[in-house]
A and B are shown apart, each in its own frame.
Chain A
Amino acid sequence: MDQITTLQPNVTINNKPGAAVEENIVSMEEYLQRVRIQQMAIKTLSEELTHVLDLGEAVDVVNKYLWEIIDYSAATYIIYNIQEGRFEARSYLKESVSSQFLTQVKKELVEYIQKHSEEAIVGSAASISDLVPLIFGVVTDEFSKNNINSSFITPLRVGGKIVGALMVTSTKEDLYSKEEIEFADMLVKIASISVARIHTFIQSLHSRTETLVKSISDGVVMFDQNYQVTFANEAMMKYTGLPDEGYKLEELSRLFDDIKLMGLVKKSLKENIYIKIPRTQISRFWYELGVIPIVNYKGTVAGGAIILHDITSIVQIDTAKTEFVSLASHQLRTPLAAIRWYTEMLLSKGNDNLTSDQREFVEVILTSNKRMINLVNSLLNVSRLELGTFAVDPKNADLIEVTESALEELIPYAEEKKITLEKNYQENLDKLPLDIGLMSIIVQNLVSNAIKYSPEGNKVYLSVSREDARYIIRVKDSGYGIPIEQQQQIFTKLFRADNVKTKHTEGTGLGLYIVKSILDTVGGKISFKSKEGEGTEFVVELPVSGMKSREGIKPLEKYRVY
């Protein structure tokens, strides 16, 4: 309140050059009221502008205040839109005016801007004089509404540069006191400063980001809504051999043989989602690729970026490792087969030359030998799963028949451990596309685990059924169970739970990893419930559409020797 009382009452001055100075004595009360309103306006305007980034938008806000406080016929703005590199014009009509009136306003504003704005802005904006203003209000053909009788122009600035102007006009004469002009100017300045401050902030962010993007070793390319490349960093230019800007994204897309980049980009921008491709190739180099939509301050997608992360050396090491495992496993099979067959001959019915101790020892050799054979087969499967080169070849099959035939090989093992297998099959199930080999691996792993991790004489339950759109296989035991703190890890490679490590030396820690990897690939699911000391139930789900087929050169090892 102190501020206001210190101000002296003022006189309104006609801003028209040469017009007679007319003194209108304003009552103190009226004056104070007006100043109060103006003060309030300035205060709330600043608050309203806190998050306004766009000068055009700021001008809309300013206009709201002008509308309330100043008497005018038309308030017209011409503003340079920095983002789009062109001028925009808007006229807000508080009273109807003629189109001639508006044409004159535009002409004067254009002249003002051409005179005061920087060459760079005026020059870069093609044909400012062809601007067609957006008009909010009623345009009339009344002759009386043709003349601009009072007016003033105030510039719109960003960072000290004039980027537009506001012209307030009226058909009435003798309006606009110095005070009113100053008030309007003040509002516009507040708007400009507020927008400029946000712009400076964004620019500093932008330049920081740009420096960062330029210097990182990942390749980054940015493009606009028309898939025109606007920026590529050094790494991207090196990876693609393309320049830093000025080409269509299709050119980049053509470099990838194994993915449809344009399709991914369109999907990403349309749905505003980040898309990641773990592995793709440009000639002999490997990359992880990400597509990111770029959203502008209005929250709409304005383009996007593609990021390439070079994983060539990782892929090479990974491939070398997997190939080594594969090669070593094949080489191991030759002596393993010889050991197997010769121990089998020693144990064959016709051979009576062994003492009972010797027979027992040879049996241990054979059991160990079979475990090594299984381990080799599992390692080969893991290497194929990890290389992603195994085939899925589904054929219409009866899930129960496939399950039954997978179980056949397990019968001697179950008998040896005196485990009863209780089966519950739903009748009349439709056939579905299944890769029989893969299905056998799944069933055998789960059932042999249930047998392995159950005390002698226990029961193992197996059921096959259809529930809604899924085929469900349940394998349940009342064995040792999985400790709760280790349940998270059971599908990880080489993991074995602590409680069974001590009970059984057998087991590779690969079975469930393989089962899970297969199900992930064929479109199935696996889950389990377990309580230590009470048992475990595994649930495999397959969609009624069956397994998804996949081209690959290597089938998985179906065999497991018992």
Chain B
Amino acid sequence: MSHVVLIIEDEEPVHRALASILMPDVYTLVTATEGETGLDLALTKHPDLILLDIMLPGIDGIEVLRRLRRDEWGSKAKVVILTNLSDSYSEKEAKSLGVDEYLIKSNVSLEDLVKKIEGYLS
């Protein structure tokens, strides 16, 4: 059975890195480069895990999360923040909105990231 992972992220290299490291037969990657489209995809496709950036064109990741949590399915969706922003109220805000983890991209190795994704989906 394939797991659907939604990546809401405007940095294309991140999509490619994840696409090449996650086994295509185990994971179906869905990508969005803007907050609004990301939210729409989440609410229609109900992915098993959402990797969410904070700095995004249009509405930011925190706002995506806030709107997601208002939805019945979205209120329980698994969300991991994957961002480079650690210098604001966002970590506190994200945690208060019930994210599973708050990761700083540069501080996590690709290998560890994959392990964490596998962990959330097992």
Contacts and interface: CB of A to CB of B under 8 A. Distances in A.
Interface string A508-545: 00000000000000000000000000000000000000
A272 to B, nearest CB: 44
Interface in A343-382: 344-345, 348, 373, 376-377, 380
A345 B110 contact: yes
Interface stretch (A130-138, A181-189, A329-337): A329-337
B110 A344 contact: yes
A435 B11 CA distance: 34
Given A338-B13, A380-B86, A555 B105 contact: no
Contacts of B106: 333-334, 336-337, 340, 373, 376, 561
Contacts of B84: 330, 333-334, 337
A172 interface: no
Interface stretch (B57-65, B68-76, B87-95): B87-95
A338 B11 contact: yes
A555 B109 contact: no
Nearest to B105: A337
Given A333-B104, A559-B104, A342 B17 contact: yes
A384 B88 CA distance: 11
A559 B109 CA distance: 12
Interface string A146-166: 000000000000000000000
Main secondary structure of the interface of B (DSSP, over half): helix
Given A333-B105, A334-B105, A376-B106, A341 B17 contact: yes
A73 interface: no
A5 B98 CA distance: 108
A373 B88 CA distance: 19
Interface in A445-497: none
A554 B14 CA distance: 26
Contacts of B86: 330, 380, 554-555, 557
B96 interface: no
A202 interface: no
Interface residues of B, number: 21
Contacts of A330: 84-87
Given A559-B107, A561-B107, A334 B91 contact: no
Contacts of B11: 334, 338
B21 interface: yes
B14, B17, B91 — which one has the most chain A CB atoms within 10 A of its CB? B17
Nearest to A389: B87
A377 B107 CA distance: 9
A329, A344, A373, A377 — which one has the most chain B CB atoms within 10 A of its CB? A344
Main secondary structure of the interface of A (DSSP, over half): helix
A326 interface: yes
Contact of B14 (A326, A338, A376, A555): A338
Contacts of B44: none
A553 interface: yes
A373 B107 contact: yes
Contact of B109 (A329, A334, A344, A376): A344
B20 interface: yes
A334 B111 CA distance: 18
A562 to B, nearest CB: 10
B85 to A, nearest CB: 6
A555 B91 contact: yes
Interface string A304-340: 0000000000000000000000100110011011101
B93 to A, nearest CB: 10
A345 B17 contact: yes
Interface string B11-49: 101100100110000000000000000000000000000
B77 to A, nearest CB: 24
B108 to A, nearest CB: 8
Interface string B90-122: 011000000000001111011100000000000
A555 B104 CA distance: 13
B121 to A, nearest CB: 20
B114 to A, nearest CB: 10
Contacts of A376: 106
A338 B110 CA distance: 10
Contacts of A341: 13-14, 17, 109-110
Given A333-B104, A559-B104, A338 B87 contact: no
A373 to B, nearest CB: 5
Nearest to B84: A333
A429 B27 CA distance: 47
7 closest Cβ contacts across the A-B interface?
A: A333-B84, A337-B105, A559-B107, A337-B106, A338-B13, A333-B106, A341-B110
24 contacts: A330-B84, A330-B86, A337-B14, A337-B105, A338-B13, A338-B17, A340-B109, A341-B14, A341-B110, A344-B109, A345-B17, A345-B20, A345-B21, A345-B110, A348-B110, A377-B107, A380-B87, A554-B87, A554-B88, A557-B86, A557-B104, A559-B107, A561-B107, A561-B109
Interface of A: 326, 329-330, 333-334, 336-338, 340-342, 344-345, 348, 373, 376-377, 380, 384, 553-555, 557, 559, 561
Interface of B: 11, 13-14, 17, 20-21, 84-89, 91-92, 104-107, 109-111
